[in-house]
Amino acid sequence: MGDECVGNDLAEGFVFTLNLSVPFDTTKAQWTNLFGNLSVTSGAVNNIAPTFFSGTMFANDFKFYLYGGLILLTDTNSPPPPNKVLAYERDQYGPARVLWRPGFLFEDTNNDVTRYITHGAGVSVPSENKGFYFSGKRGANWGEIKFPAPAANVTSDKLISLDMAQMRSPEWSNASFPDFIPGRAAGELIWIPVSTSGALVAIGGVPYPQDISDTPADAIMRDITENNRTGPELMRSVPIYNVDKQKWYMQNTTGDYPPALAHFCSVVAAAKDGSSYNIYIYGGYSGSDSADYPYDNTYILSVPSFEWISVYDGDRKLGRRSHKCI
């Protein structure tokens, strides 16, 4: 479910796999030889699993779900219903299923959650069997969205949650966040293991990512101006969600702030004693001009001090966007 596959003939709907139990030398390895793949467009699935971009993957240790994103509108793509999401089961869990085998399958959402959302910030928490999806872009009245139309041009004020504890009985929920939490698109969401059920931290993003903008040319500067005004603040002040208490907070940050960023990546690492956490972010671009070179920079947000530290400033011609940190 990559982002930059729009108009790319290689967008064949593959899921790539990397076996981290096998050692490899990053200075010598041919990266393409390290990855296996699972095709989601083979056999009977081909007609009902078109390729999406800018969605997310919710996963526990046994299974993953592909959620949200935009389908590229073509004559051959047949989009699934609004309440259908594609899943892949690698192993079974819970009560044994005699006839079970690994593979892809469609499952229904529930509790009025649909797949009609894109460019939100998703995170998986395998230890908790949970997944979360923050804000993003939706259509009018939560209706159908495709690329280039019907457009996803309304900012979502929802936190969508998925409980994967019961195999084939996922529990979806859809809760509004308060007005003091700014919505955005193409940001990142990080889970850290604090308190009873952990906390979510939302970082970056912009109000109007230009890769899916349907704003008329004569008004595009309005969106860019708003991105430039709001984007930096989404790095300087970050929303925090206490999962157990279901309560939102805003937290100011200090230090070497990153610029406004969209389509960057994040990963978290804990101190040995668990007293603090470092949230690493890398790459991305302004969100306002798709022709911009992406950043080749790395920043750390230290928690609980919430101080930004700039640790790497590279060559923008070598930067990345719409990628993932693992």
- Domain range annotation of the chain: 177-326
Query: Whole-angstrom Cα distance, residue 4 to residue 8?
Result: 8
C-beta separation of 119 from 136 below 8 A: yes
Per the listing, tokens 């981290």 go with: 20
- Phi and psi at 300, nearest 5°, equal -120, 130
C-beta separation of 135 from 184 below 8 A: yes
- Phi and psi at 324, nearest 5°, equal -130, 145
Instruction: Report the DSSP pairing between strands 56-59 and 171-176.
Output: unpaired
- Radius of gyration of the chain from its Cα atoms, rounded to whole angstroms: 19
- Residue-wise pLDDT for 142-180, tens only, equals 999 998 889 999 999 999 999 999 999 999 999 999 999
Q: What DSSP state is assigned to residue 216?
A: -
119-123, 129-133, 166-170, 218-222: lowest mean pLDDT where?
A: 218-222
Per the listing, tokens 């011609």 go with: 317
Look up the pTM and report it: 0.92
Q: How far is CA 236 from the centre of its chain?
A: 21
Q: Kindly state the tokens that stand for 198.
A: 């952990």
pLDDT confidence band for 79 (50 / 70 / 90): confident
Query: Whole-angstrom Cα distance, residue 293 to residue 286?
Result: 9
Q: Kindly state the tokens that stand for 191.
A: 């889970």
The one-letter amino acid code at 205 reads G
4-18, 101-115, 183-197: lowest mean pLDDT where?
A: 4-18
